[in-house]
Structure 1
Amino acid sequence: MTDSTGRTPRRISIFDTTLRDGEQAPRNAMSPQTKLDLALRIEALGVDAVEAGFPASSAKDVEATRLISAALTTARVATLCRAARGDVETAVEAAGTRNHQLQVIATASEIHLEHKRGITRDTALRELHDAISLASSLGVPFITLAMEDSSRGSIDLLRATVETALEAGATQIGVGDTMGCSTPGEFGELVATVREWTPASASLTVHCHNDFGLALANTMAAIEAGADEVQVTLGGVGERAGNTALEEVVGLLAYKSDVYGATTDVKTEGMYEVYSAIRAAIGLEEPRNKALFGTYAFATVAGMHQQGMLQNPLTYEYVEPGRFGRESQLLVARHSGRAVLRHVAAQAQLDLSEDTVDRLYEKLVNGRADGDCVQLSVLREEIVAEMASVAESAR
């Protein structure tokens, strides 16, 4: 398949961390059985890897990892470990080695070396080499260097970390904007630099947080800079302000693959259903205005917009709601106009004079209370009732 420029788009691997990083946010905890159910739903979307958890952190994460690793059939099962032998051994015991993507966290900024770990750079590199070497000796087929706080680390520290990991047997290099502090330009430049250090035999993954609302932009900058894989969560759930949203990356590449020269295999139609299952599992209220998944992401009350939509949805609907398992909604509020009133009246087979349209508009549309927002079916019932009342009064 080629895009409009004649290029063959690169296929971007999708690594879903909803069940690990997504769960780390307050009130997002999930039982092992719930994680298993969601893992299978996420896998069915066509993602390449499902991160089951951080096995060394709890017995429940060990159980969830065991369940998920045994059940996945197409996606890799992923785990997270510190650069510690015990963590690696626990992860391998829980997930096995078949199709296992084991991530080893590296301390990749001087801030974390001094204030979080209280260790020297040499100590951190020795820990990293030992952990990755152990994972390799145990037969783990996919070993990822996860450079925590990469965007605040010095180039010297990052390069030493990458070279150490590759020497020890890492098959993938991970760049993380752990604090969500990078701009797209900064993060793209960082990824391009790390890509230069990484041989073609090793892939490059990125993990971005949304503290400044730039997780999507930074992730797309990374793809342009050569990233092979992106780590994402459904709905962008995750620590603090969350992670890069899976649906936003997949949706953007579905529409703009020619711009980015990249594509994915994830099925867009099923994402909202899985997101709804995740919300139910963690008790997350649906936001009203979130991209693609918000309650009113495909709804409008503005009269000018509705007039165009009634003629052709293309006028105000670039993103097709059906492509994401959603539906268009024209809702009636005081911002709506006469066009939607005429449309509803025509559906009810009512031939209204302009004076009647004006009267109904003032009472049923412009006269609605602030915040009052109803479906077209409700407006239709109100119009029919109002016309019946007028007819009764005329008798």
Structure 2
Amino acid sequence: MNIRIFDTTLRDGEQSPGVSLSPEKKLNIAKKLDQLGVDAIETGFPVISDGEKEGVKLIVGEGLKAELCGLARTNKKDIDAAVDCGLNYIHTFIATSDIHLEHKLKMTRDEALEKAIEAVEYGKSRGLQVEFSAEDATRTDREFLKKVFGAVANAGADRIDIPDTVGYSTPQYIGEITKDAIEVSKLPISVHCHNDFGLAVANAISGVQAGASCAHVTINGIGERAGNASLEEFVMALHSLEFENKWETNINTKLIYETSRYISKLAGMSVQPNKAIVGENAFGHESGIHTHGVLNNPLTYEPISPEIVGRTRWLQVGKHAGIHGMNAMLKEYGIEPNEDQTKQILDKVKALGDQGKQVTEVELLSMANEVIGENKLKRIVQLAGFSVSTGVGTMPYAFVKLNVDGQEFSATDYGVGPVDAALNAIQKITSQVTDEVRLKEYKLDSISGGANALCEVTVKVEDARGNIISSKSVGEDIVTTSVQAMVDGINRIMLKTLLKEKKI
């Protein structure tokens, strides 16, 4: 059975505190969602602002494959605003729980029911597909909820949505009211679950198990308060876990990570490292026991292959590291120590880890070179020179020259400061000669005081395949140290790729 994916990243996701998307950003996200394969996109809430209307109109005019929907309260003004944007599908809602009726709407149950019926009838009179939501359904009196669903179905609604507005439901209860909705409406049922108690995806799955044919979800689970059911978690659970029924979706799972990163960047909301499926650590391993198992058979400690969602696995060394994982990392750089050298390198790794320090790849390689006694790393990218300019009343810019495998490249770029400008210029050069390599994380620490203080810059860079490399540099000048760390990181990520592809 195919489960319909209704993505509300552009509406409920944008209601995340601190997120505000321009019309152009909304259009770009909608195109990404369409490429991902979502069945329906909630484009926004047209009545709330002129910018919102503009964004919805841009999306409608793009000719996307997905169904396009707009949110509307149960009044003619909201519904007309959706029609004016060119939408032919609305998601209309009114609260039905007593707490909302009394304290927010100041309505009786009968008055709310009348408004719901009128909105559905008006939407149908305008030629629209109408999906009706009973806001705060999971805290609504169960018999009254059934009455509302039956009435809007009789009024002509095309779909019923069950919102767990404050994430209050349990999987068992949302399954029960999903069955109620199917029984009284005989319509396709959606579930819209929030994550206040961390149950959004579990509740959405329970709704599907009870007969719902659609789930409202967002990329990275963004949304108000603790967010919504996460598209990536919900979809991969349906695709991968053992259920009595076999469910499928139209999502191209190989685009999940790319879409996650794109929306995280545009929305300005970072993904927590331990987030399922798309978090940085989701396919990362340090423990010697785990890395040994994964190297022999990835299924020992990975429930799915990272490539399914557009990821790659990565290993890290530290005090939990083992010989197999460490040697696998060194081999990616063409370094193969003998047994005695391996033990010496591992001892150094564990000693650093015992001090509570993160062992980056640059430190691992430095330890290996120290033990082996020679630098076996080929440098593909070398810094040939750079200069920066900054001052009051002028935007900082940088000129950078790199030698990439014997050929010189240069670029100029701007930034919010001299470091940002220099790193932007470096990324502009590398985008000309390889797949996108971007700065994922930047960290600056002071490691000594006084006039001659040293700074330590640690960067993480990521390529288009999802490979992540960390690099570190120490020096007196922040800009120079940052540039050296960035160049080292790019050098290592390109070297790893070329060795993997057997091009060197």
The two structures share one fold, judged by TM-score above 0.5: yes
Asked if structure 1 preserves the Cα contact closer than 8 Å seen for 2:73 and 2:93, the reply is: yes
Give the 3 Å change call, closer, same or farther, for CA 71–386 of structure 1 in structure 2.
Answer: same
Alpha-carbon separation, structure 1, partners of 2:91 and 2:306: 36
The number of equivalent residue pairs is 372
Question: 1:163 matched to which residue of 2?
Answer: 150
1:94 is aligned to 2:54: no
1:137 is aligned to 2:125: yes
Deviation of 1:93 after TM superposition, in Å, equals 0.9
Question: 1:188 matched to which residue of 2?
Answer: 175
Q: 1:22 is matched by which residue type in structure 2?
A: G
Pick aligned residue for 2:46 from 45, 52, 55: 55
Pick aligned residue for 2:104 from 108, 116, 139: 116
State the secondary structure of the residue aligned to 2:339.
Answer: coil
Q: Which has the higher contact order (CA 8 A, sep 6+)?
A: 1
Pairing 1:70-109 to 2, within 5 Å after superposition: 70-97=61-88, 101-109=89-97
1:370 is aligned to 2:356: yes
Pick aligned residue for 1:128 from 98, 101, 116: 116
Structure with bigger strand share is 2
Asked if structure 1 preserves the Cα contact closer than 8 Å seen for 2:175 and 2:207, the reply is: yes
Deviations 1:35-65 (A, max 9, x none): 0011011011111100111111111111111
Asked if structure 1 preserves the Cα contact closer than 8 Å seen for 2:298 and 2:305, the reply is: no
1:253 is aligned to 2:219: no
Instruction: Report the TM-score, using the length of structure 1 for normalisation.
Output: 0.90
Alpha-carbon separation, structure 1, partners of 2:219 and 2:328: 37
Deviation of 1:365 after TM superposition, in Å, equals 3.0
Deviation of 1:276 after TM superposition, in Å, equals 1.1
Please provide the CA RMSD for this pair: 1.8
Asked if structure 2 preserves the Cα contact closer than 8 Å seen for 1:43 and 1:72, the reply is: no
Question: 2:279 matched to which residue of 1?
Answer: 294
Pick aligned residue for 1:324 from 306, 309, 323: 309
Question: 2:12 matched to which residue of 1?
Answer: 21
Pick aligned residue for 2:163 from 151, 176, 182: 176
Alpha-carbon separation, structure 2, partners of 1:231 and 1:167: 23
Pick aligned residue for 1:310 from 264, 288, 295: 295
State the secondary structure of the residue aligned to 2:21.
Answer: coil
Alpha-carbon separation, structure 1, partners of 2:143 and 2:330: 70
Instruction: Report the TM-score, using the length of structure 2 for normalisation.
Output: 0.71
State the secondary structure of the residue aligned to 2:373.
Answer: helix
Alpha-carbon separation, structure 1, partners of 2:20 and 2:242: 35
When structure 1 is superposed on structure 2, of 188-197 and 209-218 the one drifting more is: 188-197
Question: 2:185 matched to which residue of 1?
Answer: 198
State the secondary structure of the residue aligned to 2:161.
Answer: strand
Q: 1:82 is matched by which residue type in structure 2?
A: R
Alpha-carbon separation, structure 1, partners of 2:96 and 2:345: 65
Question: 2:337 matched to which residue of 1?
Answer: 350
Alpha-carbon separation, structure 2, partners of 1:104 and 1:338: 59
State the secondary structure of the residue aligned to 1:23.
Answer: helix
Gaps of 5+ in 2: 375-504
Asked if structure 1 preserves the Cα contact closer than 8 Å seen for 2:172 and 2:206, the reply is: yes
Alpha-carbon separation, structure 2, partners of 1:349 and 1:300: 20
1:274 is aligned to 2:259: yes
Q: 2:266 is matched by which residue type in structure 1?
A: A
Give the 3 Å change call, closer, same or farther, for CA 310–12 of structure 1 in structure 2.
Answer: same
Asked if structure 2 preserves the Cα contact closer than 8 Å seen for 1:14 and 1:49, the reply is: yes
Alpha-carbon separation, structure 1, partners of 2:242 and 2:327: 40
Give the 3 Å change call, closer, same or farther, for CA 131–342 of structure 1 in structure 2.
Answer: closer
Percent identical among aligned pairs is: 35
State the secondary structure of the residue aligned to 1:297.
Answer: helix
1:264 is aligned to 2:245: no
Deviations 1:272-319 (A, max 9, x none): 111111111121123110001111110011111111122222221221
Give the 3 Å change call, closer, same or farther, for CA 260–345 of structure 1 in structure 2.
Answer: same
Alpha-carbon separation, structure 2, partners of 1:344 and 1:256: 31
Alpha-carbon separation, structure 2, partners of 1:204 and 1:173: 5
Q: 1:284 is matched by which residue type in structure 2?
A: M
Gaps of 5+ in 1: 1-9, 390-395
Asked if structure 1 preserves the Cα contact closer than 8 Å seen for 2:170 and 2:199, the reply is: yes
Asked if structure 2 preserves the Cα contact closer than 8 Å seen for 1:106 and 1:161, the reply is: no
Deviations 1:124-169 (A, max 9, x none): 12211111111101111x2011110000001222122112211221
1:212 is aligned to 2:158: no
1:284 is aligned to 2:275: no
Q: 1:123 is matched by which residue type in structure 2?
A: E
Asked if structure 2 preserves the Cα contact closer than 8 Å seen for 1:85 and 1:130, the reply is: no
Q: 2:336 is matched by which residue type in structure 1?
A: Q
